[in-house]
Amino acid sequence: MSQILKTLIVLLFTFCLASAQSGSASNHDEHLYTLARSDLKEFAQEVSKNAKSELGRAQAIVDWLAKNFEWKPTDYQKRTVQEIVDRKGGNCYELAIVAQSAMKELNIKLRRVHEVNISTNTPDRSDRARKKVKELGNTYSVFGRHHNDHVWLELYDSAAKEWFPADPSSGLVGVEQWMKGRVGFGKRFSLNPITEDMVVPFAIFAADADGKFTINRTQHYLVDEFSRLYGRKFRKQPLWKEWISTLDLLDDKVAGAFAGSLNLHEYESEIDQLAAVYEQLRAVLKSK
């Protein structure tokens, strides 16, 4: 048998094996989707059956949703979890409540998280946002020309006795993965291309027992963990002090916007300032 023929046989065998594995994975995903539509608890148990901790089970659920559900832009329609599953997709809030419902079936302790982030500068979004504020009030000022809001989850891992991020629309779970994917300066990983428009969060609040976003997590993620991520290299930089002081200022304003008592669009210059500081910190890191 010639060497060329042997090579062709090996390539054909490899292709057939890969096709069989791909078909098997596709069938398994279809089976999981059928379970999600009919029995969310059974779905959650099946998709996370190999995980050993709350964090691992959450990772399995988030990974599957991020890979198999489509991110869809906000259309301001209210949907049940069942309707979102049947639709096989939704915005960040909708994907979060599906993941939350699935994780609750596994008795994972959860809380919803609402952030506002610096996003790609988009003037036409500013026009839409200002119209929404006039129509529906200040709570809609959490998105605008240079900022946007985003919803995800925090889960409590009893083994570590800590709260960890879990973002169903981006597929990011755990502090290290989330920090590198949402705050870090390096190449970012995300299962959702929409996160490419979200430069960095600047206000993060978790929901309390009443469902109100009053638990401030900005310091934890955007100061303590941000500093740790880069070996505390920024701490002696004047820019770092400016970063923290501007975060503190905007944190209070975002809380007001969540409550409907303040229009965040009035603080666009401060948001622009924070975006500039973030890029300056990136430059400082590159120069070291």
Partners of 148 in the beta sheet? 117
The answer to the question of residue 10 being in a domain is no
- Give the confidence band of 19 by pLDDT, cuts at 50, 70, 90: very low
Task: State the Cα–Cα distance between residues 204 and 114, nearest whole angstrom.
Answer: 6
Task: Give the pLDDT mean for 98-122.
Answer: 95
Residue 39, phi-psi category: left (phi > 0), alpha (psi -120 to 50), beta (remainder): beta
Residue 110 pLDDT greater than 50, yes or no: yes
- Distance between CA atoms of 152 and 92, rounded to whole angstroms? 7
Predicted pLDDT at 26: 75
pLDDT at 1: 56
Query: What domain range is 228 assigned to?
Result: 39-287
Residues 71-98: what's their mean pLDDT? 92
Q: Which has the closest alpha carbon to 92: 148, 142, 153, 151?
A: 151
Residue 5 has pLDDT above 60, yes or no: no
CATH number for the domain including 260? 3.90.260
Per-residue model confidence (pLDDT) at position 24: 55
**Residue 12 belongs to a domain:** no
Window from 1-15, 95-109, 135-149 with minimum mean pLDDT: 1-15
Considering the domain boundaries, does residue 233 fall inside one? Answer: yes
Say if 27 falls within a structural domain.
Answer: no
Report which of residues 100 and 73 the model is more confident about: 100
Q: Is residue 264 part of a domain?
A: yes
Among all chains, which residue has been given the structure tokens 């379970």? 35
- Which pLDDT band, with edges at 50, 70 and 90, does 4 fall under? low
Residue 24 within a domain: no
Please tell me the total count of domains within the chain. 1
User: Taking each helix axis from N to C terminus, what angle separates 3-38 and 54-68, rounded to the nearest 10 degrees?
Assistant: 100
| Contact yes or no for 243/201 (Cβ under 8 A) | no
Is residue 160 over pLDDT 60? yes
Higher pLDDT among residues 158 and 104, named by residue: 104
Query: Quick one: pLDDT at residue 196?
Result: 79
Tokens of 190: 């995300």
pLDDT for residue 218:
98
Across the chain, mean pLDDT equals 89
Q: Is pLDDT larger for residue 52 or for residue 216? A: 216
Distance CA 190, CA 106 (A): 25
Q: Is 158 exposed, middle or buried (0-12, 13-18, 19+ CB in 10 A)?
A: exposed
Judged against a pLDDT cut of 80, whether residue 10 lies above it is answered with no
Q: Which residue has the higher pLDDT, 192 or 98?
A: 98
51 belongs to a structural domain: yes
163-221 confidence digits (pLDDT tens): 999 999 889 999 999 999 999 999 887 777 677 789 999 999 999 999 999 999 999 99
Question: Per-residue DSSP letters for 249-274?
Answer: HHHHHHHHHHHTSS-GGGGHHHHHHH
- Share of residues in the chain with pLDDT > 70 (%): 90
Among 13-17, 30-34, 47-51, 251-255, which is the least confidently predicted range?
Answer: 13-17
Residue 99 lies in a domain: yes
Residue whose tokens read 């891992």: 157
